[in-house]
Amino acid sequence: MSIEVRVPALGESVTSGVISAWHKHTGDVVSDGEALFTLETDKISTEIPANRAGKLQIQVEAGQEVKIGQVVALLDENATAPAQAGKPSPSIPDALAPAAKSLSPAPQEVNMTLSPAALRIVEEEKVNVGEVTGTGKHGQVTKSDLIQYLESRNASPAQVTAQPGIQSLPQPGATIQSVPGSVSMPAPVEASARSTRRKMSPLRKKIAAQLVAAQQNAAMLTTFNECDMSAIMQLRSQYQESFQKRHGVKLGFMSFFIKAVVDALQSVRGMNARIDGDDLIENHYYDIGVAVGTDRGLVVPVVRDADKKSFGELEKDVTAYAVKARDGKLSLDDLTGGVFTITNGGIYGSLLSTPILNPPQSGILGMHKIQNRPVAIDEKIELRPMMYLALSYDHRVVDGKEAVTFLVRVKDCIEAPARLLLQG
């Protein structure tokens, strides 16, 4: 009996997507819950697992656009399910079983239970799959499981928390590392080729449409200021160890900026509003989007109720979103409903920029590179770690006076972080 493999529903606003890659081939026998293909939409990219075990018959090739509910493959249930990898052969004597378990599984065995992306990690990093705890269906080891295993084995805490747009290090400069075997990477280009034509991904098309809409539909204006990062850097240096022991994450810069933005939104309420037709909608909650650059493009996960969360909770949220963004596991709920966005171009070395609004929001704060610059302090010239700040806003909603007041408030909170506790 053949079972149909259909494109699952991923949210009310998602009607189609592109099969960016098949992780199995026609004729392969797959297990229930094993990753079959990666579906890329205009919002997220996710691996679609098999809903039954059986022999695969692909109906739609990679690279084609598919509709929600469309049949893309068939699974023949009469086929024999693959044997589990990583287990000692029954013929091996019990005395030798521990030694057999310690051996890395052969590539042909791993092929039967791991997706190509996970298999690539196993082969390149020489991972013993038997040591990895699987969180997939029926205990299957996923790409995310392997990444977490490698991080716990080799990576320092700084490597785990570094990501674009979510700065958690004393000095910007870290980026999300691309995962070996990532299916979203374009095919290599021949040296002789003068140009390459390929279709834009759904996410890239969505980003392009959003940016053009922001330019065409809003009266955007940007105001600038700079802030002294000395106080925050001193706080982080002084309390980093105790903070990390208590909360399990590092104290980064982003939690301070989220708190500062919330404080400024509460002080300048006009910034926490948006236009909907002929109506002005004022928000009374503080869900802050944090822009994250990935291999697939820019995504903006939203930190919910930032006004009610501690620094530790904010850092945990930010770190969790960084991991999900890197693994391509952000959901639609993670990306919707923000009232304001923060983006950090400084991690790429940007000294100054004019960020573009994230519709339908009316404001976005741009952070930039921290750089030692001479500044006048009490009639003396001193070198201080300075950061330029840029606030882009919709002039239809916010006047210049309000925008400048908002940005100055953010600056004041960063330079004197005690304000965030005392609300002074």
Q: List the domain boundaries for the chain.
A: 2-76, 108-154, 203-422
Which residue reads 């716990």 in tokens?
Answer: 152
User: Which are the catalytic amino acids?
Assistant: 395, 399
Mean pLDDT of 116-123: 68
Q: Which long-range contacts (CB under 8 A, 24 or more apart) does 202-205 make?
A: 202/16, 202/17, 202/18, 202/40, 202/41, 202/42, 203/40, 203/41, 203/42, 203/43, 203/45, 203/296, 203/297, 203/299, 204/296, 204/297, 205/42
Is the CA virtual torsion 288, 292, 297, 301 positive or negative? negative
**Helix (H), strand (E) at residue 120:** helix 116-125
3-state secondary structure of 189: coil
> Given this model, what pLDDT does residue 98 score?
45
> Given this model, what pLDDT does residue 178 score?
37
162 pLDDT above the threshold of 50:
no
What is the pLDDT confidence band of residue 284, given thresholds at 50, 70 and 90? very high
Q: How many CB atoms lie within 10 A of CB 136?
A: 21
pTM: 0.61
Q: How many CB atoms lie within 10 A of CB 163?
A: 28
> Given this model, what pLDDT does residue 156 score?
42
Which one is predicted more confidently, 336 or 134? Answer: 336
Could you say which DSSP state residue 401 is in?
H
Mean pLDDT of 18-26: 84
3-state secondary structure of 228: strand
**DSSP codes joined into one string, 253-297:** SHHHHHHHHHHHHHHSGGGSEEEETTEEEEP-S--EEE-EE-SS-
Which one is predicted more confidently, 292 or 352? Answer: 352
Alpha carbon distances (Å) from 164 to 146, 295, 300, 322, 366: 22, 11, 11, 8, 13
Instruction: Indicate the average pLDDT of the chain.
Output: 79
Could you say which DSSP state residue 171 is in?
S
424 pLDDT above the threshold of 70:
no
Task: Please state which CATH number belongs to domain 108-154.
Answer: 4.10.320.10
The predicted-structure confidence for 45-71, as pLDDT tens digits, reads as follows 778 888 888 888 888 888 788 888 888
Q: Is 90 exposed, middle or buried (0-12, 13-18, 19+ CB in 10 A)?
A: exposed
3-state secondary structure of 58: strand
88 pLDDT above the threshold of 60:
no
**DSSP codes joined into one string, 409-424:** HHHHHHHSTHHHHH--
> Given this model, what pLDDT does residue 83 score?
45
Do residues 89 and 22 touch, judged by C-beta distance below 8 A? no
Task: Please state which CATH number belongs to domain 2-76.
Answer: 2.40.50.100
Nearest by Cα to 417 from 251, 288, 305:
251
State which amino acid sits at residue 70.
Answer: Q
Mean pLDDT of 386-398: 96
Which one is predicted more confidently, 197 or 114? Answer: 197
The yes or no reply on domain 203-422 and CATH 3.30.559.10 is yes
Which one is predicted more confidently, 412 or 104? Answer: 412
395 pLDDT above the threshold of 90:
yes
Mean pLDDT of 328-351: 89
**Helix (H), strand (E) at residue 216:** helix 202-217
Which one is predicted more confidently, 283 or 84? Answer: 283
> Given this model, what pLDDT does residue 138 score?
62
The predicted-structure confidence for 206-237, as pLDDT tens digits, reads as follows 778 878 878 888 899 999 999 999 999 999 99
Backbone angles phi, psi at 124, to 5 degrees: -75, -35
319 pLDDT above the threshold of 80:
yes
The predicted-structure confidence for 222-279, as pLDDT tens digits, reads as follows 999 999 999 999 999 999 999 999 999 999 999 999 999 999 999 999 999 999 989 9
316 pLDDT above the threshold of 90:
yes
Alpha carbon distances (Å) from 1 to 28, 35, 52, 76, 77: 16, 21, 11, 6, 6
Residue 250 in tokens: 């590092």
Question: Which range is least confidently modeled, 81-95, 132-146, 286-300, 358-372?
Answer: 81-95
> Given this model, what pLDDT does residue 115 score?
66
CB neighbour burial string for 253-290, b if at least 16 within 10 angstroms, e if fewer: bbbbbbbbbbbbbebbebbbbbeeeeeeeebeebbbbb
Question: Which range is least confidently modeled, 79-83, 138-142, 299-303?
Answer: 79-83
106 pLDDT above the threshold of 80:
no
Which one is predicted more confidently, 48 or 87? Answer: 48
